Amino acid sequence: MKLSKRFIFFCCLSVFLLFLLNAGAAQTFAQTEDSKPQIADTKAGKKEFSQTLTEDVKVFNKKPVEMSANSSSTLLNRVGVQTSQTMPLTLNEAIRKALENNNNIEVARDDVRFQETQLRSLLGNYDPIFTVAPTFSRSSTTGSTASNDFRVNAGVDKLIRRGGGTISSFFNNSQTGRNSQNNTTFNQTSALGTSATTTYFSNVGVNYTQPLFRNFSIDNTRRQIKIQRKRLQQSDADFRRQTMDVIAQVQRAYWDLVFALRDQQNRLANLNLAKENLRQVEARIEAGAAAPLARAEVATELANREGDVLLATQQVSLTENTLKTLLLRDPNAPEWSESIVPTDKPVISDEPIIVDDAVKDAIDNRPELNRLRLQKEINTIDIDYFKNQTKPQIDLVSSFSLGGLSLGGQNLSTTTPFPIIVPGVATNADSFLLSQINILRAGQNPFLPPLTLNDIPQVTPQGTPNFLNGGSFRSLRNLFRTDSPNYSVGVTFSFPLQNQTAKANLAGARIQQQQTDAQMRSQEQTVIAEVRNAVQAVETARQRVLTARRARENAEIQLEGERKLFEVGRSTTFLLFQRENTLTNARNAEIRAETDYNKALSDLQKATSTTFRLNNIEVDSPMDEK
Each residue of 82-138: pLDDT tens digit? 878 889 999 999 999 999 888 888 888 889 999 999 999 999 999 999 999 888 888
Q: What is the pLDDT of residues 552-565, one digit of tens each?
A: 999 999 999 998 99
CA angle 170, 161, 392 (to 5 degrees): 95
**pLDDT value of residue 623:** 61
Residues of the chain with pLDDT > 70: what percent?
79
Distances from the Cα of 388 to the Cα of 47, 223, 335, 409, angstroms: 110, 11, 60, 58
Q: How far apart are CA 246 and CA 557, in angstroms?
A: 42
Which residues on adjacent β-strands are paired with residue 82? 338
Q: How far is CA 625 from the centre of its chain?
A: 20
Write down the architecture of domain 89-118+231-390+500-614 according to CATH.
Up-down Bundle (1.20)
Arithmetic mean of pLDDT over the chain: 80
Lowest pLDDT segment from 72-76, 320-324, 497-501:
72-76
**pLDDT value of residue 63:** 44
**pLDDT value of residue 288:** 81
Q: What is the pLDDT of residues 173-210, one digit of tens each?
A: 888 765 433 443 333 333 333 444 678 888 899 999 99
Q: How far apart are CA 252 and CA 260, in angstroms?
A: 12
Query: Within the chain, which residue ranges are assigned CATH 1.20.1600.10?
Result: 89-118+231-390+500-614
Lowest pLDDT segment from 10-24, 189-203, 287-301, 442-456:
10-24
Give buried/exposed letters for 559-582 (b at 16+ CB in 10 A, else e).
beebeeebeeeebebeebbebbbb
Contact between 141 and 111 under an 8 Å Cβ cutoff? The reply is no
> Would you say residue 21 has pLDDT above 80?
no
Mean pLDDT on 484-499 = 88
**pLDDT value of residue 529:** 96
> Would you say residue 56 has pLDDT above 50?
no
Q: What is the pLDDT of residues 134-143, one digit of tens each?
A: 888 887 777 6
First to last CA, the chain: 124
**pLDDT value of residue 422:** 66
Q: What is the pLDDT of residues 567-624, one digit of tens each?
A: 887 888 888 889 989 999 999 999 999 999 999 999 999 999 999 998 888 888 776 5
Q: What is the pLDDT of residues 144-159, one digit of tens each?
A: 777 778 888 889 999 9
Contact between 172 and 151 under an 8 Å Cβ cutoff? The reply is yes
**pLDDT value of residue 39:** 30
Higher pLDDT pick, 449 / 337: 337
Element (H, E) at 625: none
**In sequence order, which ranges of 445-477 are alpha helices (DSSP H)?**
472-477
User: What's the sign of the alpha-carbon dihedral 366, 368, 369, 371?
Assistant: positive
**pLDDT value of residue 317:** 93
Contact between 276 and 573 under an 8 Å Cβ cutoff? The reply is no
**pLDDT value of residue 473:** 80
Check: pTM over 0.85? Answer yes or no: no
Contact between 605 and 613 under an 8 Å Cβ cutoff? The reply is no
